Structure formats: C-alpha cells, structure tokens
Amino acid sequence: MHAYVLEPSARRPTLAPRPDPSPGPGQVRVRAEALSIHPVDLETAQGGNAMLLPMARPFVPGVDFVGVVEGLGAGVEGLSPGDRVYGYRGIAAQGAFAERLVVPREELARAPEGMTPAALACLPLPGLCALQALDEAGLQAPGRILVHGGAGGVGGVAVQVFARRGHHVIATAGPADLDRVRQLGAAEVIDYTAARFEDAAHDLDLVFDTVGGETLARSPATLRPGGTLVSLRAMPAVADARAAGLRVPWFMAMVLPLVGMGARRKARSAGVRLVGQVTTPSGARLEALTALARPRPLETRIDRTFPFAELPAAMDHAASGKARGRVVVTLG
C-alpha cells in the first residue's frame, strides 16, 4: 500500500510505499475511501504541533477518514468485513493519510447511511468536537447554546448536532450564510458584521467557539453564571493535553497556563468556566453522531475533492484561504 509521510524538515507530505498493516488484538484494518483535510493537518505539516506530538518524524499524518472494514484483530466485536466505518485518529496518533490503516475498535463507528464517502469524511472531528462540548458542559436537558462560526466546517456540523439534540441554538455567521445556518437548525442567527453577539445573546448554558481571539474574549458576558465556554482556540489545560496523549514538557507545562491567563481571568470574573478543548477519539460519540444522522443525513459543505495522488495539492488548496468548505481526498 501507499501512504503520505512527513519527513524531517518537510512542509508537505510525500507519497511512499508502506507495508500493509495487520490488525492486532482489539484493532480493525480499514481500507480508506475518503479523507478530509482540517486545519490541524495543515498545522502539523508546517511543524506547528511538533513539540506536543509524542512521535517524531517521519510519520503518517491525517486525522479524519471513512472506509471499509477489511480485517479484524482478536477480540473485536460488533463489526464485520465490508462494514463502512468512520473515525478520528486524534492529534496524538494520526495516520489517516494512507490507503489502509489499523485503528483501535473503540475509536470506530458504523458510518451513517445515505451519505457519500466524501461527505462522511467531513464528519468525525466536527461531530466529536460538538458532542464532547456537550459532555464538558454537562448539558443533558435542552439548553441555550451559542455557536461561533456557524457556517464553518466545524460550526456547521455543531449547529446540526446541537439542534438535533433539542437545544436552542444561536449562531453567528456572515451575511452570505445567514439563511444556510438557519436551514442547518439554528433558531437564531446573528450577522456578526452588523451586530455585537453579546447584545443579542444572553443567559446561555454553553458557548461553542471555533473563532478565538476577540470573539473568545467577549463570549463570557453571554453566559449565565455557571455556564461553560468551550473553545477550540483556547489553550487547553496541561492535564487535558496529557490525557489526550500529547507530550507536554515541563517548560511548556509552565507556559501554557500563562498563555491563556487573560481569557481564563475574564471567565472567572463572569462566573463561568472556560475549557480549551482537545478533541479525543471516541467510537461511542461517533455512534451517537451516526444516530443523529437518521433519518435525515447531516449536511457538510465540500469545496473540492482531489484524488489520493494529489493530496499535497489538496493541502495547498486548503491552506490558500480560498476554500469555501472542506477539502476532501478520495481513494479508489
């Protein structure tokens, strides 16, 4: 088989032959059908996550995939050869940019029916981000949730997940995307170019932030006392990073709390909790995501698809800032 490998000092992955992987106990071998490219993949290629990663180059990058089960290791239950599955490898493991990959059974779920492999490849990481945020906020009963970036690759899936779970969803979006975000399930949409979201949204149980910066800094004011602000752009707690398998050297353990100090101080002053999310693999959450896609498929926005042989070009396109939606790589 072939896989893309990040060699030392390289800023683009290189296609190289690799041995066909064999599943060990508790593992599943998957023949990939489609892969999606996320900002974390671009950051990894550029070396932005190097100090946090537990593995040294060369390694196979990539986090999201969909494919067909080819083989089962000892003790694997609930799956059969030929089943279509999807998964998220996590930043600490990666390895999705390959024709075949071996994945722990507990990280996989059967993929929803009625969606193309390209659309399915866009779901795992965004869906896990949203469901993990609900768990971190402890939201069981329907609540009020604000999604920053409701038209984005993660935010658009989050709006659907929260709405289908019965929550009242408010989302920010640009003028061109207001109608689309309403169609995704948002009860209220705020045009961030025309209004300040903190003037329109109050007494929220959860803010799900995909934007960061000033948007993150202004968000605590919208939450009720005891509410939760989950941000993909805030620095994670050291314990959370290590629990996700990341390597946090002692000097980084000292620096990380300082980097996010301003945002955390504002959150404490407002009586709310700030969580810098490190998204973790979870087959159980993916099963919940699959259930939410019945009977109506979850919508994903794809900008462009590339064949596997052109994966570096796909990454260049994703990094260009021109893509309006997710960039997907298809195999076979």
> Would you tell me the crossing angle of helices 155-164 and 124-137 to the nearest 10 degrees?
50
- At 251, the pLDDT band (50, 70, 90 cuts) reads confident
Give bridge partners of residue 304 from the DSSP assignment: 327
- CA dist 241 to 63, 140, 266, 278, Å? 17, 25, 22, 6
Above 90 in pLDDT, residue 259? no
How big is the chain by its Cα radius of gyration, in Å? 19
When the pLDDT of each residue in the chain is averaged and rounded to a whole number, the result is 95
What percent of the chain lies above the pLDDT cut of 90? 89
CATH code reported for the domain at 126-276: 3.40.50.720
What mean pLDDT comes out for the span 65-82? Answer: 98
Q: What is the pLDDT of residue 329?
A: 98
Reference 114, options 309, 297, 315; nearest CA is 297
Instruction: Please give the CATH architecture assigned to the domain spanning 2-123+300-330.
Output: Alpha-Beta Complex (3.90)
In the structure encoding, which two tokens stand for residue 135, read together? 């768990």
Q: What is the pLDDT of residue 172?
A: 98
CA-to-CA distance for 28 and 47, rounded, in angstroms? 29
What is the helix (H) or strand (E) element at residue 248, kind and residue range?
A: none
pLDDT digits (tens, 9 = 90+) for 181-216: 999 999 999 999 999 999 999 999 999 999 999 999
What is the Cβ-side half-sphere exposure of residue 232, based on CA atoms within 13 angstroms?
24
- At 2, the pLDDT band (50, 70, 90 cuts) reads very high
pTM as predicted: 0.96
CA-to-CA distance for 146 and 151, rounded, in angstroms? 13
Above 80 in pLDDT, residue 235? yes
Residue at token pair 């609930």: 78
Above 80 in pLDDT, residue 95? yes
The string of DSSP letters for 85-125 reads: EEEE--TTT---SBSEEEEEGGGEEEPPTTS-HHHHTTSHH
Q: What is the pLDDT of residue 130?
A: 98
Among 141-150, 157-166, 183-192, 256-265, the range scoring the smallest mean pLDDT is 256-265
Would you list the domain boundaries of the chain?
2-123+300-330, 126-276
